[in-house]
Amino acid sequence: MRTIPLGKSDLQVPVIAVGCMRIQKLDQASAEKFIKTALDLGANFFDHADVYGNGACEALFAKAIGMTPALREQMILQSKVGIRTNMFDFSKEHILEGVNGSLNRLQTDYLDILLLHRPDALVEPEDVAEAFDILHSSGKVRYFGVSNQKPMQIELLRKYLHQEIQCNQLQLSIPHSQMISNGIYVNMENEGAIDRDGSILDYCRLNQITIQPWSPFQYGFFEGVFLDNPKFPELNKVINRIAAAHGVSNTTIALAWLLRHPAKMQPVTGTMNINRLKDCVKAADDFLSREEWYEIFVAAGNKLP
């Protein structure tokens, strides 16, 4: 699969990441088949979090694949830490404990990437810096990132960290694309002009931070998928016509729309369906024209100034 550098690092990653939040829904045999298929497709970047299934997703992943050092070297493993019941926790103790738990469940000695999972209002960046130093120097984590953070939150961390923030996982899909639209409606008084994220898209591009769009097929906050949804008749009409012209599925076009953006994003899939995963992977090689990209953007309800 086509690859891109992760942030400023020397780590080359597939442009499609495989999200494992729902892997617990599979039995062990199905999970093994899914993971091996992903590897065969070149989709060897797997996104986890300690909170997914309260750790069960990480444990099933390693058990299903029969994790060995040789298999581990074929994968890029990313996990996240920081969400606890009714709170967020970026304390040094919780970060270290969370990583150790993930390593144990994933049956590995190291994570390729660790993300701080959503912002912690009580974050003490010095604490995070100490935890990252320990994890990096011990070889337990090679690279670091964040999720759902805006520029000044990242800048606060960067003041104290000795490691680069390489990626930022953000919700982004065709109907949930305000981080893109607010850069189009500059100096206007409509809803789309409201900057709710501190221009995080431009910030990440300026600082070579890879954006990892999560829920790329969802609209709203886990309200459902927009593909083949009667709530989005015009959008689906346009996507389906473009998909037919390219000889691919609407799933492929939805991801290709994100990959067409010059920010060099790395969408995180959520499907556990092998055929749908194959459609996702095809997006890595399907390039939309400027005309097609904007037609889809407008069909999602965006009006150009």
CA distance linking residue 298 with residue 291, whole number of Å: 11
Model pLDDT, residue 220? 86
H-helix or E-strand spanning residue 166: strand 165-171
Residues 162/126, Cβ–Cβ less than 8 Å: no
Domain ranges of the chain: 3-232+265-272
Beta strands 87-88 and 83-84: pairing type?
Answer: antiparallel
Query: Has 185 been annotated as catalytic?
Result: no
Per-residue pLDDT of 90-111, as tens digits, reads 999 999 999 999 999 999 999 9
The DSSP letter of residue 53 is: G
Tokens of 29: 């045999």
Is there a contact between 16 and 210 (Cβ–Cβ < 8 Å)?
Answer: no
The residues, any chain, with a CB within 8 Å of residue 67's CB and separated by 6 or more, are 106, 107, 108
Res 191: pLDDT:
86
What pLDDT digit, counting tens, does each position of 103-147 carry? 999 999 999 999 999 999 999 999 999 999 999 999 999 999 999
Q: What pLDDT does residue 222 have? A: 80
Report the Cα 182 to chain-centroid distance in Å: 21
Q: Is the pLDDT of residue 35 over 90?
A: yes
Under CATH, which number does the domain 3-232+265-272 receive?
A: 3.20.20.100
- Tell me the mean pLDDT in the region 253-269: 98
β-partners of residue 145 are 115
Mean pLDDT of the region 4-10: 98
Q: Which of 52, 143, 203, 219 is catalytic?
A: 52
pLDDT-derived band at 151, boundaries 50, 70, 90: very high
Q: What is the mean pLDDT of the chain?
A: 97
Would you state the pLDDT for residue 221? 82
CB atoms within 10 A of CB 20: 28
Residues paired with residue 88 on neighbouring β-strands, in sequence order:
83
Return d(Cα 181, Cα 164) in angstroms, integer.
28
**pLDDT 10s digits, 178-220:** 999 999 999 998 888 899 999 999 999 999 999 999 999 999 8
